[in-house]
Amino acid sequence: MTALSSGSSRPLRGRCRVPGDKSISHRALILGALAVGRTRVRNLLEGEDVLRTAAALRALGARIERDHNGLWTVHGVGVGGMVEPDGVLDLGNSGTGARLLMGAVATHAFTSFFTGDESLCQRPMARVVEPLSRTGARFVARDGSRLPLAVMGAPSPMPIAYTVPVPSAQVKSAVLLAGLNAPGETTVIEPVATRDHTENMLRHFGATITVTATETGGKRIVLVGQPELKPADLTVPGDPSSAAFPIVATLIRSGSAITVEGVGTNPLRTGLYQTLREMGARLTFAKERITGGERVADVAIKAGDLKGVDVPAARAPSMIDEYPVLAVAASFAKGRTVMRGLGELRVKESDRLAAIAGGLRKCGVDATVDGDTLTVEGNGTPPKGGALVAAQLDHRIAMAFLVLGSAARKPVRIDDGATIATSFPGFVKLMNRLGTRIAEVRR
């Protein structure tokens, strides 16, 4: 365990780049492995979660290499070309890697075994097991469809039409990846639109995919199965979920001003930016461009007074991973911030909803949970801090409370920061270079 402490920082200044987007990094490796030929990927997130996906894909037959300059090369096996792995696929802490790869192997006629760390083995997989079973795949798992889990791929895969019951980009993506190796058309209907990185990247690799709006404001996605995906080089944008931490740290520390370069600004991932602007944040985009089918910009932020706002449930899919650090921003704001529709946070690396509220209360913040709604009462001044917060093996909880400690009246400690490397390797170094004071605590 690596305990970390964060004390009052000087004003944050400078320019920085955050690691590549985790969601896009997973998908770049998986679709590169399913293409025929060589795909080169720049700015891949080299966090533990993505490295686990790379290792699993190697076990499934793809050749994946990294050179000394950080350029990743994926030699794909083609759609339907994966091979039965010799051992168990251990996805560590990565729910994204596990669920997406379960989709990819579900329509391959072999058996594969999935496991993960203590946290991942407690997370629900039924949400992907249920639709993937309709393709003809069979699953054997612990109670509640939890890992360890065996996938017996469909010998004669069937295309399906599936309406996603709860907004989830991972479920949608698992079904679409299964549909790649099924004949005919696979259809996914989303009552509420979720992040569309999989659709964007499928197009980038040459798949035929159509997306139309539904009458309810959701999306109908149709994928033509059994394409020959073509190798497609790309540069992974900076992860907006990682950028959220230096952004909020800047907003809550008087006199701060930074620019985060090359961040993904996909409209289905910008809920945090919209919310922070409603709170009064001075946040602007510059050098907007398109790379690999994704929108990218430099994000400039200046500190300033924040006010409480009401965040509607409909916005949750566009910022679900950013709620821990948004709650930190709310604790510095003046007035009440109400965040609705957060049921998905209960099934992340931890019960994030409970972890956020409990950590805030330890730091002297009035925070309550009512059903799927989190309410934070701020008085416009820095919280007391001075607490030891349990990260609960959750990288985003750990980083969020280190951000809170950077501007609280007393330092905040987290019991274990080891999992930060799953999504943001170099987090402490980057934050301290900007002006924070995060340090390892000797026991």
Please check whether residues 373 and 293 belong to one and the same domain: yes
Separation in Å, CA 436 to CA 336, 411, 421: 27, 11, 18
Picking from 181, 197, 228, the residue at the C-terminal end of a domain is 228
Q: Give pLDDT tens digits for 143-155.
A: 889 999 999 999 9
C-alpha dist (Å) from residue 399 to 219, 244, 254: 33, 10, 20
Q: Yes or no: say if 427 and 269 are a contact pair by the CB < 8 Å rule.
A: no
Do 61 and 179 belong to one domain? yes
12 shares its domain with 31: no
Assess whether 284 and 408 both reside in one domain: yes
Closest CA to 243 of 309, 173, 326: 326
Which residue bears the tokens 């139309």? 212
Q: Are residues 271 and 393 in the same domain?
A: yes
Q: Which of 187, 209, 228 is the last residue of a domain?
A: 228
Q: Are residues 272 and 355 in the same domain?
A: yes
Domain count of the fold of the chain: 2
Per-residue model confidence (pLDDT) at position 192: 87
pTM (2 d.p.): 0.86
Which strands sit side by side in the sheet containing 334-339, from one edge to the other? Answer: 310-311, 334-339, 373-379, 366-370
Would the pLDDT of 371 be above 80?
Answer: yes
**Does residue 96 share a domain with residue 84?**
yes
Pairing of strands 161-163, 185-190: parallel
What confidence tens digit (pLDDT) does each residue in 176-232 have?
999 999 999 999 999 988 889 999 999 999 999 999 999 888 899 999 999 999 999
Asked whether residue 184 falls in the same domain as residue 245, the answer is no
Taking only the tens place, the pLDDT of each residue in 305-344 is 999 999 999 999 899 999 999 999 999 999 999 999 999 8
C-alpha–C-alpha distance, residues 285 and 295, integer Å? 11
Angle at CA of residue 60, ends 59 and 64, nearest 5°: 70
- Domain CATH code at residue 112: 3.65.10.10
Do residues 99 and 165 share a domain?
yes
Instruction: Report residue 1's pLDDT band, with 50, 70 and 90 as the boundaries.
Output: confident
Last residue of a domain, one of 182, 205, 228: 228
- Given the residues 21, 321, 366, 370, the one annotated as active site: 321
User: What pLDDT is stored for residue 86 in this prediction?
Assistant: 97
pLDDT at 443 exceeding the cut of 70: no
Is residue 351 annotated as a catalytic residue, yes or no? no
Based on the fold, state whether residues 393 and 312 are members of the same structural domain.
yes
Give per-residue pLDDT as tens, 109-128.
Answer: 999 999 999 989 998 899 99
355 and 426 share a domain?
yes
- Determine the structural domain holding residue 287 and report its residue range: 4-20+237-440
From CA 440, how far away is CA 416, in angstroms rounded? 10
139 in the same domain as 219 = yes
Report the 10 Å Cβ neighbour count for 290. 9
Q: Are 425 and 397 in contact (CB under 8 A)?
A: no
